[in-house]
Amino acid sequence: MSVARVRGWLREGAPVVRPGQRGRGHAALVDPAALTAWLQARESSNRTLASDLDHRDLARRLVADIAAIKVAAYRARSDPGKLRDAGSVVAEFATLAQAVHERLGLPPPSPDDWPAEIKQICSALNNFRELR
């Protein structure tokens, strides 16, 4: 462990017994046990952050897959009631997307974060409603 690395940790908030000052003989005093505990807590926090990022990425991919399935089924329809049922497609997608996020311990997805295909159906639905 180098002096430069310890100094970096101190700048990042590692615990000190006595802060250092400028000049020879005025170095910071560090308790090795406290520093070790701080480093372990920081590593654990980094692992939690990585896990959260993994969950967000998984949620994003699952929600995109759900959207693709819902949109493909919607586009495959050719009946006259297709546009009228667009609201149900969007509502089902929103329910499934929220369930994925809840299951992974994430906040519910915002409509701003929905895949473009679902946003297109929402737009078509809004245009349809305005024409009526």
CA distance 29 to 91: 60
| pLDDT tens for the chain, residues 1 to 132 | 777 887 787 888 888 888 888 888 888 888 888 888 888 887 877 666 666 678 888 888 889 999 999 889 888 888 888 887 888 899 999 999 999 989 888 898 999 989 999 999 988 888 877 776
Residue 41 lies in a domain: no
Residue 55 belongs to domain spanning: 51-131
Residue 3 lies in a domain: no
CA distance 46 to 41: 9
Give the chain's domain count: 1
- What residues does 112 pair with on adjacent strands? none
What's the pTM? 0.55
Residue 84 lies in a domain: yes
